[in-house]
Structure 1
Amino acid sequence: MTQPMFEQLEIQEIHDTLLSILRIVVELCEANGIDYFLIGGGCLGMARHDHKMIPWDDDLDISIWANDMPRFVQAAQTLPSRYKLTFRTLSKNSSIQISDTSTLIEFDNPSKKQLICADNVFIDVVPMMYWPSLAWKHFDNWYAIALAINRTTNSPTPWKAIVKKLLRFSGLPHLTVSLGRRFYEPLVERMNCRCHAEGVGFISGAMGQKWIGRYPWHVIYPLKNRPLGSFGNTDTVLVSSPNDLHEFVRLRYGNNCMQQPKPETLWKHFDRAVRIKP
């Protein structure tokens, strides 16, 4: 059997791959009437790098409303076979990674791999919800911890694994999740629908998931279509993005987000990527 050949990808080629994935996801959402918007480093690139991706960035993120995620997953079954969906967790409102299986990503540090489910160059699709107040989302963070412990006690940090095992042994996470599914989750769903209908509250990660920032309604709406490209390539993707882009990135990354970071602080999700040659 002939062994596959691999060609290492330069950062520009990684960006081209990410934009190709983004383009098909945008087309999928628009064809199926699914609301979405760009979040994360893609927005920072728009604001700080003149509508281009951050030069060293190696992923993109979009948000979809949690109630629309089942429709998105169903519609994504029609994507070309080279694209794969991977759920980050088995929990409700899990993020999804959509990856290009003609690529592979490589890690020098195994602990990085534990943060990523996909084996290929990917973009994250993150479920978001409407919340009436910060207090509710603070409470939800504790609920997310209970869900995680009830699901698994594994952790790359030994002391965290021990604490998780002790908490699970106490039975508190199981009790919290049982009560939450009966009373808390239906209440949050009703609040989410009310805030959406009335245009109030703020927007953050879906129930049982982490913050993903917290944004007042007017920062997100009305959504605006903006081009996103990369350095060295004139092709762009017209993508839905937050109304007040600069305020969005300030809330997500801090008051100094428009300054260039120091080289030692640059974050990369993986160390190398290769293309599988036929």
Structure 2
Amino acid sequence: MITALKEMQDIQLKTALEVKRICEKYNISYFLVGGTLLGAVRHEGFIPWDDDLDIGMLRKDYERFIEVAPMELSSKYFLQTWFTDKSFGLPFAKIRVNETKFIEQNSANVRCHNGIFIDIFPFDNVPNELSLQKKHNQRLFIFKRLILLKNGYSLWNSGGLLKKIIYKTVKIGLFFIPLPFLKRNLTKEMIKYNHIETEKVAALGSPFGYFQEQTNKEWVGEQINLIFEGTRFSCPTGYENYLNSHYGDYMTLPPVENRVSGHGVLKVEIKSSTG
């Protein structure tokens, strides 16, 4: 299992190097986020048990990347958004590696590209007022869940029978709501506050919580280079504040029993020619 994880991390690293190349060519700002940023700071590479790689971009840079990436990526890769893959239900991008498989529990029945991937998250403004944040969070949560249900994602794997009944009932009602309508409204809600100055931004498409994902704009607005697996990658200048906010005492390793992936992986396949 350790060998397979290392092989997968090597593939993800090569994919991230492609993103880095494209961003540098087109002067697009990007930064490592989440566990990938934590890995860069604490391990100078992947967290040893981590099976994903996360990159963030402010919305304008994200849109530019989505525009140019199809022209730059080789046939080895697939830029997955809900425009390039109609069954994909997430409001951010993944770069998938063709001829591989990485099947997660909640998307096992979704007929979309399911290769090994890295995530690319757009960061959008969140309002300063707590009351507006609560309303924003509620609307985002509803639209994200409806889109996932409409696309066949399983949202009841954790939870009791009542949760399963509620989601399946809602799914029946979704038959009458067009998917493009839901996507337009979610996107509109995500970029709702980008026209005004706010203190914080967040990866609003992330599966983690609205408030957990918030970060001060000044922490990620400028970047520095940190070593990740032997290569310098762009990271937020405020990485210490970011990591303290997200993880607390981030330099202390978690207990051994918590050193596991959180993806609920069912199957991984890597062809010998991939790499």
Secondary structure of 1:80's partner? coil
Alignment of 1:1-278 (within 5 A): 10-49=4-43, 51-78=44-71, 79-87=73-81, 94-105=91-102, 110-111=105-106, 113=108, 118-133=113-128, 135=130, 136-148=132-144, 150-151=146-147, 152=149, 155-157=154-156, 158-164=161-167, 189=191, 191-195=193-197, 200-206=198-204, 211=210, 213-229=213-229, 236-253=230-247, 255-268=248-261, 269=263, 270=265, 273-278=268-273
Identity among equivalent pairs (%): 22
Residue pair 2:87, 2:111 contacting (<8 A) in 1 also = no
Indicate the SS of the match to 1:192. coil
Task: Give the direction of change, closer, same or farther, for the CA distance of 1:132–1:27 in structure 2 (3 Å limit).
Answer: same
TM-score using structure 2 length: 0.74
DSSP-derived class of the 1:194 partner: coil
Structure 2: which 5+ runs fail to align?
A: none
Letter aligned with residue 48 of structure 1: R
| TM superposition shift of 1:213 | 1.4
Structure number with greater CO (CA < 8 Å, separation at least 6) is: 1
Contact residue 124 and residue 190 of structure 2 kept, 8 A: no
Q: Please say if residues 201 and 216 of structure 2, whose CA atoms lie closer than 8 Å, have aligned partners that are also in contact.
A: yes
| Structure 1: segments with no counterpart, 5+ residues | 1-7, 230-235
Say which is worse superposed, 143-152 or 27-36, in terms of deviation.
Answer: 143-152
Task: Decide whether the 8 Å contact of 2:41 with 2:226 is kept in 1.
Answer: no
1:21 and 1:98 in contact (8 A); partners too: yes
Number of residue pairs the alignment of both structures matches: 253
Report the CA distance between 1:77 and its aligned residue: 1.0
More strand by share: 1
In the alignment, the residues of structure 2 paired with residue 92 and residue 170 of structure 1 have an alpha-carbon distance, to the nearest angstrom, of: 18
Q: Based on CA coordinates, which of the two structures has the bigger radius of gyration?
A: 1
Mapped to 1, the partners of 2:165 and 2:30 lie a distance apart of: 39
Equivalent residue letter for 2:219: V
* More displaced stretch, 155-164 vs 24-33: 155-164
Show CA shifts across 1:34-54 (max 9, x none): 2221101111112222x2211
